[in-house]
Amino acid sequence: MRFAVIVFPGTWSDHDSQYSLQLAGQHADLVWHRETDLSGYDAIVLPGGFSYGDYLRCGAIARFSPVMPSVVAAAEAGKPVIGICNGFQVLCEAHLLPGALMRNDSLQYRCEWVNLRAENNTSAWTGLLEPGQVIRVPISHGEGRYFAEEATLDELESSGRVAFRYCTDAGEVTPAANPNGSERGIAGIVNERGNVLGMMPHPERACEPLLGGEDGLLIWKSVAEWTKVGV
Amino acid sequence: MAIEQSVLDTIALSRDEYQLIVEKLGREPNEVELGLFGALWSEHCGYKNSKPLLRLLPAEGAYVLTKRGAENAGAVDIGDGMCIVMKIESHNHPSAVEPYEGAATGVGGIVRDIFAMGARPIAILDSLRFGPLTEARNRYLLEGVVAGISGYGNCLGIPTVGGEVCFEDSYAANPLVNTMCIGFAPVDKLVTAAAEGPGNILLLAGADTGRDGIHGASGLASRTDPGERFEELRPAVQVGNPFLEKMLLEACLDLAHNHVDWITGIQDFGAAGLTSSAIESASRGGTGIAIDVAKVPRREEGMTPYEVMLSESQERMLIIVRKGHEDDVAALFERWEVPTAIIGHVTDDRLVHIFDGEEEVGTLPVELLVEAPEYTREGEPAQELYEMESLDLIGLPDVADAGAALLRLLAAPNITSKRWVHRQYDQSVLSNTVVEAGADAAVLRIKPVLSPAEGAPADARQRGIAVATDGNGRYCHVDPYRGASIAVAEAARNVVCAGAQPVAVTDCLNFGNPERPDVYYQMQAVVHGIAEACDALGTPVISGNVSLYNESDGVPVYPTPVIGMLGILGDVTEHCTMAPSPGDELFVLGSSIEQAVDSLSASEHLRLEHGKIGGRLEIDLQLEERVQRAALAAIRQGVATAAHDCSDGGLAVTLAEMCLAADAGLDAANAVVGNRLDAALFGEAQSRIVLAVKPEKRDDLVGVVTSMNVPLEYIGTVTAEGHFRLGPLDLPLADLRDAYENGLERALAG
């Protein structure tokens, strides 16, 4: 599979994403945000970072980058698209996913390993996960508190579009296990069609036992499997 | 014409220094020229009080690639054509005045030093010192500094993987904020900072120039200012733009790695801005330069040549471009969305020419500017040193409730977990962090190059590095000579406990006013102490920084050398942590469990329980070297399963930290503690490492260690039960955890 890893000015998980995709046996190119043709790629990664310094709202400027119409078109055409951390924020700003990411309730940046409970295994990116399975992945963000209106949250839940929730080792979703105050412990969501995933945690940093775990590979492997099988 | 004192005061030059300038120049300098002297002859840039001392430090070694002071940072060969570049620097004065921006721009400055050499910054460590958290201002400073480091470093996508946070009364008005950066580069991609080749072009890349930070080097960093002036000095602190720095970083690395034939050098703008950047590169290149300040893009109107030359606006780099490649380089920066401007060229006359459009507003010899006068002063030990040395430790009562004393130590801000700090730093970006902050040393792997074809690494073996910073102002206050040696020894020991061979040091030396005989004595003693320890341990000092005038109301900070230590792991999978497993046996290497009361000298326990600071420090550097060699051998041969340095808080704290890391108990009820329980549990005797081994490897450990003539004593066994038993101590592990993990947050709650 050929992955386009989009690089906005200020993106910094581009190399980690590329490296971990290569570890998973995939081809990944870094694609500068001024590129407008993504037709040669099977999947698109919007990685983490501080696009444009996050000086306005996180992701608010990046969504106007030249590459974004192609990202939106790919998402609408059903190609797998994942937004991680800042990438999730960009997807929300671009209205490919509902809701917004707000300042952590601690008002501090948080970087630590967290547990995530998989809620969905029908999307392009989560097929190899068992619902209820707990995976360990690092977070690293100052504005990762997922927020949406009650009606939107209810709809996300009822349509099975919550992908991950922050949880304890045992898989319980508790306030103490929620690192940023996200509504209903939500760490990641998918779009209606199931091809677009946005998540605050960094699976690309959890792809080697040496670095603390390889649960993140499940995301890369899931999409590879999904593509093989077809929609 | 007599120069007015107020003019000299503004740039912190003495009247004698002014006379020297007039004499050597054969005329009076004009305002612009005097500004250049003020900056380059400042303590911060010119090291006029410290240079003669710094020459005493060993700077050469088998792995060292750079010459003393020749580049922006030091470089060490780690094999296979790869090198590590590192440096530590202070941003104490700006952080005292404006903690967030002071600390943030400290990160920005040290990171630029690293990528100016063509190395990708891969890790940041911060060594921070504040006054006690019982004071609201100190809490404000800690919170601001940590937020500043977090805000800038996280935005750059460089992990902050370690460092220290310490608290002593002496840092209350003058916190110490030392930041170390580590970079990685193929050896053949290293870039120099020399302005070579007359006719080549000086290209300024990055931020527009404003009035921020004028006199930062001469004013803020090179003299003592009373606290009342802080509000007035706030404009002398620069404001950081980490986003621009990130773009500058990527552009400079693109240039250095892919188009090095277009340039002859890259130099960052640090203290004293364009002045030091341009003139130091001319000095390195043996050339001259011509700069037209009218061509420097401004963010403010009406700036004078003097202001442009001395502005410390952040996120600027000077690129020395080979003539004919100006457009190529400008286009490369344009791709990274970084503005550039051609501001001058290299000349062959060894003069600095400052133009403002057509008009030449200053002309000075490069050599004269970079050769600041050097001062060798007379040091004299303070009377206080003798008083502290004669502190009667034997007369102190032994600890009555050792369990309560241990819990107080584990909750003490100097010892307690710094998770509250570390979790505000991105520690895992770049996917190299094997051991995060909070351990003896952070461990990073050096990423292998993946084969261009899809798939696994071309070479399975991954090299690694272990890095730590260590300083102990209280030790150095009591005994600057041995205290400094101990700082080196402990930093090396930390790296050894991670399974790495210590190879090089970068040091940041923080002192008060060098014109005081007692402070100058401290500087002399500290430098000698570092030099001896570095010689004994084979770790040359490859880069560093000196910060003087750290004092307020006439009271200097504790003399505080901060040692940044680099260790190398041939195979990063062989790294060691402090967490043993249930069933492992624990041994102390280097000394017995029982300790003489002298081991309490300058200890945390002595200060906390008795309110005293003093005693006699000891370190045997030959024993230290053998202990480290033995521990490293035990780790590398797979004998030791865990290792932890025995330092602040003594053996009881070391063992508690190991048990907490493993979430395991300890059965060492039979440990022989001797007749001074406080010394055995909380004494801080040097050259000790606690090792864990499987019972079946016990004989192997004894073999390795005794062959190197290193003392070894059995302590006890790690258990799966939640109890911590050490001699007469018996505490639930949960109590230790509560004290250790919540100590800092409770202290911050005021």
Residue B151 with chain A: CB contacts under 8 Å: 109
A23 chain-B contacts, CB cut-off 8 A: 450, 456-457
> Does residue A132 register a pLDDT over 90?
yes
- Among the partner residues A16, A20, A50, nearest to B155 by beta-carbon distance: A50
* B296/chain A closest Cα distance in angstroms: 24
- Distance (Å) from the alpha carbon of A192 to chain B's nearest alpha carbon: 31
Q: Are B562 and B507 in contact (CB under 8 A)?
A: yes
Contact call for B336 and A211, based on CB within 8 A: no
Q: Is the pLDDT of residue A231 over 70?
A: no
* Residue keyed to tokens 């501080």: A50
State yes or no: pLDDT of B701 exceeds 70.
yes
Give the best residue of B161, B243, B443, B450 to mutate against chain A (max A CB count within 10 A): B243
Residue B558 vs residues A84, B225, B517, B526: alpha-carbon distances, Å: 45, 17, 15, 11
CA of A205 vs chain B CAs: smallest distance (Å): 6
Which pLDDT does position B460 carry in this prediction? Answer: 63
| Residue B10 confidence class, pLDDT cut points 50, 70, 90 | confident
Choice among A85, A92, A167, A207 that is catalytic: A85
Dihedral sign of CA atoms B442, B253, B150, B90 in order = positive
| The pair of three-digit structure tokens given for residue B447, joined into one six-digit string | 């990423």
Residues in chain B closer than 8 A to A32 (CB atoms): 335
Mean pLDDT across the stretch B384-396? 96
pTM to 2 decimals?
A: 0.96
How remote is the C-alpha of B610 from its chain's centroid? 31
Facing residue for A19 by CB, picked from B151, B157, B450 = B450
* Mean pLDDT score, B451-475: 78
Q: Please report the pLDDT score of residue B80 as a whole number.
A: 87
Q: What is the mean pLDDT of residues A107-128?
A: 96
Q: Which of A33, A204, A207, A214 is catalytic?
A: A204
| Domain-wise residue ranges, chain B | 1-41+191-372, 50-68+75-108+121-133+159-184+434-575, 401-416+576-750
The answer to whether residue B122 neighbours chain A at the CB level (below 8 Å) is no
pLDDT range class, residue B227, cuts 50, 70, 90: low
CB pairs under 8 A between A and B: 100
Distance from the A126 Cα atom to the nearest Cα atom in chain B, whole angstroms = 22
Instruction: Pick the residue of A111, A136, A140 with the most B CBs within 10 A to test the interface with B by mutation.
Output: A111
Cite the active site residues of B.
44, 91
What's the CATH code, domain B50-68+75-108+121-133+159-184+434-575?
Answer: 3.30.1330.10
Look at residue B154 and tell me whether its pLDDT is greater than 90. yes
- b/e string for B31-70 if b means 16 or more Cβ within 10 A? ebbbbbbbbbbbbbbbbbbbbebbeebbbebebbebebee
Distance (Å, rounded) from C-alpha B364 to C-alpha B376? 26
Quick one: closest CA in B to A58, which residue? B155
Is A204 tagged catalytic?
Answer: yes
What pLDDT, in 10s, does the model give residues A164-176? Answer: 999 999 999 999 9
**Closest to B406 (Cα-Cα) out of B595, B164, B742, B656:** B656
d(CA B247, CA B255): 12
Same fold, B1-41+191-372 and B50-68+75-108+121-133+159-184+434-575: no
| pLDDT classification of A230: cutoffs 50, 70, 90 | low
Please name the residue of chain A whose CA is at the shortest distance from the CA of residue B430.
A16
What pLDDT shows up at residue B221? 57
Contacts (Cβ under 8 Å, ≥6 apart) of A209: none
CB A91 within 8 A of CB A206: no
Subunit contact A110:B429, Cβ cutoff 8 A = no
User: Which of residues 159 through 198 in chain A touch B, CB cutoff 8 A?
Assistant: none
Q: Is residue A209 over pLDDT 90? A: yes
- In CATH terms, B401-416+576-750 corresponds, of 3.90.650.10, 1.10.10.60, 3.40.50.880, 3.60.130.10, to 3.90.650.10
Nearest CA in chain A to B244: A53
* Per-residue model confidence (pLDDT) at position B232: 66
Residue B451 has pLDDT above 70, yes or no: no
Decide which of B148 and B461 is more confident: B148
Shortest distance, CA B573 to any CA of chain A (angstroms): 7
Give B158-177 as a DSSP string: --EEEEEEEE-GGGSSS-EE
Per-residue pLDDT at B4: 86
Q: Which amino acid is it at B596?
A: A
pLDDT digits (tens, 9 = 90+) for A34-44: 999 999 999 99
Strand, helix or coil at B67?
coil
Mean pLDDT score, B561-583: 97
* Lowest-pLDDT choice from B253-267, B445-459, B639-653, B683-697: B445-459
Q: Contact A15/B430, CB-based, under 8 Å?
A: yes
Judged by a CB distance cut-off of 8 A, whether residue B256 touches chain A is: no
Partner B contacted by A88 (CB < 8 A)? no
Q: Which residues of A touch B428 (CB under 8 A)?
A: 111, 138, 140, 202, 205, 211-212
The distance of A65 to chain B (nearest Cα, Å) reads 13
Are B424 and A109 within 8 A, CB to CB?
yes
Residue B458 has pLDDT above 70, yes or no: no
- Among B145, B150, B160, B431, most A C-beta atoms within 10 A, so best to mutate, is B431
- What residues of chain B lie within 8 A of the CB of A140, using their CB? 154, 426, 428-429
Q: What is the pLDDT of residue B593?
A: 97
Q: What is the mean pLDDT of chain B?
A: 94
Q: Is B45 a residue whose pLDDT tops 90? A: no
Q: How far is A34 from chain B (nearest CA, A)?
A: 10
Q: On the CB side of B644, how many CA atoms lie within 13 Å of its CA?
A: 26
Dist. CA B508–CA B560, nearest whole Å: 8
Query: A199 with A137: CB under 8 angstroms?
Result: no
- pLDDT tier, A229 (very low <50, low <70, confident <90, very high otherwise): confident
Q: Would you state the pLDDT for residue B564?
A: 98
For chain A, how many residues are written? Answer: 231
pLDDT in tens, B295-354: 999 999 999 999 999 998 999 999 999 999 999 999 999 999 999 999 999 999 999 999
d(CA B437, CA B322): 42
CA-nearest residue of chain A to B150?
A109
Using one digit for the tens of pLDDT, what is the confidence trace for B632-670? 999 999 999 999 999 999 999 999 999 999 999 999 999
Q: Considering only the top CATH level, what class is B1-41+191-372?
A: alpha beta
Given a cut of 80, whether residue B750 has pLDDT beyond it is no
Q: Is A202 a catalytic site residue?
A: yes
pLDDT, tens only, B510-527:
999 999 999 999 999 999
Helices and strands of chain A, counted as H and E runs: 5, 11
Q: What is the pLDDT of residues B66-87, one digit of tens each?
A: 988 778 899 999 988 999 999 9
Residue A27 contacts B where some CB pair is shorter than 8 Å: yes
User: For the purposes of burial, counting CB atoms within 10 Å of the CB of A29, is it exposed (0-12), middle (13-18) or buried (19 or more)?
Assistant: middle
- Tens of pLDDT, residue by residue over B23-40, are 999 999 999 999 999 999
Nearest to B243 among A10, A210, A211 (CB): A10
Sign of CA dihedral B500, B501, B503, B508: positive
pLDDT at residue B618, as a whole number? 97
What is the pLDDT, as a whole number, of residue B738? Answer: 98
Residue A115: per-residue pLDDT: 98
Q: What is the mean pLDDT of residues A154-162?
A: 97
The C-alpha angle B444, B448, B453, rounded to 5 degrees, equals 150
- Helix (H) or strand (E) segment spanning residue B255: helix B242-258
The pLDDT of residue B217 is 60
Instruction: Note which residues in 445-504 of chain B have CB less than 8 A from chain A.
Output: 445, 447, 450, 454-457, 462
The single-letter code of the amino acid at A170 is A
Look up residue B741 and give its two tokens.
Answer: 């993990």
What rounded mean pLDDT belongs to chain A? 96
> What confidence tier does A7 reach under pLDDT thresholds 50, 70, 90?
very high
Residues in chain B: 750
Q: What pLDDT, on a 0 to 100 scale, did the predictor assign at position B216?
A: 64
